Amino acid sequence: MFQFNGYVLDVARGCLRIEDREIELRPKSFEVLRCLVENAGRLVTKDELFKAVWHDVIVSDEALTQCISEVREAINDRAQTTIKTMPRRGYRFAAPVSKPGPEGERQRPAPAVSSDAAIAAGHAEKPSIAVLPFVNLNDDPQLNYLSDGITGDIITELSRFSDLAVIARSSAFQYKSKSVDVRQVGRELGVRYVLEGSVRHDEKRIRITAQLVDAVTGVHRWAERYDRELRDAFDVQDEVVRTIVTILQVRVIEAEVERILSKPPATWEAYDYYLRGYHAFATGFSQYPLASFYEARRCLERSVSIDPDYARAHVILARTHTYTYVEPRDESYLDPAELERAGELARTAVRLDSTLPQARTLLGSFLMFKRRHEEAIAEFEQAFALNPNYSDHSFGLSLVFAGQPARAIDVMQASMRLEPFRNATRLAYSGNAHYMLGRYEEAVVPLRESARLMPNLRITPLWLAAAYAQLGRLDDARAAADEVRRIEPGFTIERWKVTAAYKRAEDSERLFDGIRKAGLPDR
């Protein structure tokens, strides 16, 4: 008999139970679960499973896949945090397993993994994290509901990110009210990262702290404290949870990038190439060295060649083609083949994983440049329906292009609250939206800040030049126009119109009028 996540696997009776309720499983599916549970914490290859379950009978991979699917459904593992798929190799049972002793006492769960190499191998397809129960620092134990609620909400919201493997609440809460060592937690749950936190509040204020720790090295990756007035506990809880979750997802990915970059090339696989490509792409986007985009493309093309079904690699690869299409860096600028390649990769990403928000927003961006505005907005809205914590600055630009600048401002403000860093592009799009509403003074402030944060983003001085010109500040307008010429020496309005995908003629003419007044040429 084995116990995990509240379930009982009774080998003698050949049944699976939870809370005295028996869960029906086909015999072969039960045997697959039994084999995985008995080997919890290690990779069980497909060959091992075939030999254990089907003996000398030859069956296809589909038979095993069907059994795995049925087992996941039975143990409520739709997020695949308990049974981990090791691409092209097999599966690993990641939940802690215990076996009652002869007197009915539970033995301590055996560590799922015991080394950096095992953890890294076990989670090669996605980084893994456990959220430990936040500590209630008030003396009153009746207030545990708040710290427990925040913990549960963070687990739920993190689970929306399909690029993270999040340990279920039932497994994480076994550590409640215990003094634990983060490294031991990492070994027992088979995770790379652990989030700890605490909650303290009085009648007027609440303080929530959170810290992300690498469970293998013990290094603290991120920490933050949130102080809020306690007017409405549920509103405060929702706001802080969403902020923590959004930042946390980014910090985990950043930590994974650093870890992968420190590994020798001999260990590279699809995921390694994806992370290297992602890092190069992010460097290129923030600093605009063209070589970074092409290095990103090289890594990502390698990633999809190793794993053609890797949707995330298709997403970032498509973005490299989008940016070389819209930015004046080399002969790829305004090349229709670049945009079509981005669209092809976007459609492939959606086909591979229709529930991946990044794939949906990527397709939305492509449709935006094709001036299919309603379809573009529908893709963005679908992405945020899939994960309300996901943030993508391109939605703001899509709304401005579609003639909805007021909504774009609301979306960008909400996005900046959700992800309160790296907001140069969001500020730029907010400025453009204010411009379209004729609020030129309000447009200048975010555009000027965007230009400071990202001086090589051409659209920022372009829109800033137009706003200054409409205000009659011609010296400032000409200075901003000079920045446009620095970035694109041969700039003309006629050439730029290709990517200025405004739906309404009055919007594009309003912008072109300001650009002309700033001294930039039509042709």
Using one digit for the tens of pLDDT, what is the confidence trace for 467-498? 999 999 999 999 999 999 999 999 999 999 99
- Report the range of poorest mean pLDDT among 184-193, 349-358, 391-400, 482-491: 184-193
Tell me the two tokens of residue 40. 């919890």
Task: Give residues with Cβ within 8 angstroms of 473, minimum separation 6.
Answer: none
What's the one-letter identity of residue 368? M
CATH top class, domain 2-110: mainly alpha
Q: In the predicted model, what is the mean pLDDT of the chain?
A: 83
CA distance 187 to 115: 8
CATH topology identical between 2-110 and 122-256: no
Tell me what pLDDT residue 232 has: 59
Q: Are 407 and 434 spatial neighbours (Cβ–Cβ below 8 Å)?
A: no
Q: Are 376 and 364 spatial neighbours (Cβ–Cβ below 8 Å)?
A: yes
The average pLDDT across 254-270 equals 58
Tell me what pLDDT residue 432 has: 96
Tell me what pLDDT residue 477 has: 97
Confidence of residue 224 (pLDDT cuts 50, 70, 90): confident
Tell me what pLDDT residue 500 has: 93
Q: Which residue has the tokens 């490299």?
A: 320
Q: Are 324 and 298 spatial neighbours (Cβ–Cβ below 8 Å)?
A: no
Tell me what pLDDT residue 422 has: 59
Confidence of residue 104 (pLDDT cuts 50, 70, 90): very low
The CATH fold assigned to 122-256 is Rossmann fold (3.40.50)
Please determine, looking at this structure, whether the domain spanning 413-523 carries the CATH number 1.25.40.10.
yes
Judge whether residue 101 has pLDDT over 80.
no
Confidence of residue 441 (pLDDT cuts 50, 70, 90): very high
Domains of the chain by residue range: 2-110, 122-256, 263-390, 413-523
CATH top class, domain 263-390: mainly alpha
Confidence of residue 418 (pLDDT cuts 50, 70, 90): low
pTM, full prediction: 0.60
Tell me what pLDDT residue 431 has: 96
Q: Are 253 and 163 spatial neighbours (Cβ–Cβ below 8 Å)?
A: yes
Q: Torsion over CA of 243, 249, 252 and 257, rounded to 10 degrees?
A: -130
Taking residue 202's Cβ as centre, other Cβ atoms within 10 Å add up to: 9
**Main-chain phi, psi angles of 165, to 5 degrees:** -100, 115
Tell me what pLDDT residue 511 has: 95
Judge whether residue 466 has pLDDT over 60.
yes
Judge whether residue 118 has pLDDT over 50.
no
